[in-house]
Amino acid sequence: MTQQGKNAIEIIKAVREFEYFTTKQAQNITGIPYSTASYIISLMRKFSAVSVVGKSKGTLKYKISPDAVQIVKREFTEVFKPEPKKIDDEIVGRGMVYVEKANVQGMGSGFLKRMDSLLSEVRV
């Protein structure tokens, strides 16, 4: 059994007597870091060892299934790694825009454009 499986069994033992639990409660009781507990609970949810019973203020409430320990022992035989998040190329390309001249239609604030036009007479 992997370390993830051992952590999953530790979470199950810690929160089994609760009607429902959250990731934050599991983290506080077991001492496992929040990100690790969250990922392990999502894996247990994927394997049906944990089910979602509700949602409160954006936080999911989970319930342990009766045969959760057997499911964990059966499924956690290898180390699971989170999939890297894909970055959309369109979002990466956005940001600061470089232009040839300062007075481009639709760019900049009106106050600065007016100030620039007034100062252009002085620059000559």
Report the alpha-carbon distance of residue 22 to residue 38 in Å, rounded: 9
- Residue ranges of the chain with per-residue pLDDT less than 70: 87-108, 124
pTM for the full predicted model:
0.63
Each residue's pLDDT tens digit, 51-67: 999 998 889 999 999 99
Percent of the chain residues topping a pLDDT of 70? 81
* Cβ contacts of 51 within 8 Å, gap of 6 or more: 45, 62, 63, 65
User: What is the set of domains in the chain, with CATH numbers?
Assistant: 3-75 (1.10.10.10), 89-123 (no CATH)
